[in-house]
Amino acid sequence: MLASSERIPLYDYTADSGKEKTAFIEIANENKGGETTWGNGSSIRKTVIDVDSGRFDLPSSHELPIGDISEMVREGANDDVFSRNECTTMIAALTASLQRIP
């Protein structure tokens, strides 16, 4: 899969095994040269790297199609699972995205 060249830091954590892990967000956007493992459209992947070995941690990494993410956010909002700050941050990012879309 070709993802964006930029890894967006997400968080560091210690796994139950005691190994240190680092999580990133990577975006596979067909419109910008990326390819998703789903074959159609764009996706967002949480990539986890084992800090000691520097290796990709497949069981801890996940990729979701954009349509699934959108539906998850809608359903989460309908069930009031997001904090006020999370809602405000998402609204600001989506508003900026709307302004960039021709």
9 has a pLDDT exceeding 50:
yes
**Residue 65: per-residue pLDDT:** 86
Q: What is the per-residue burial (b if ≥16 Cβ within 10 Å, else e) of 16-31?
A: eeeeebbbbebbbbee
Mean pLDDT (the chain, rounded):
86
**Residue 2: per-residue pLDDT:** 46
Overall pTM > 0.95: no
Of 79, 81, 47, 50, which Cα lies nearest the Cα of 64? 47
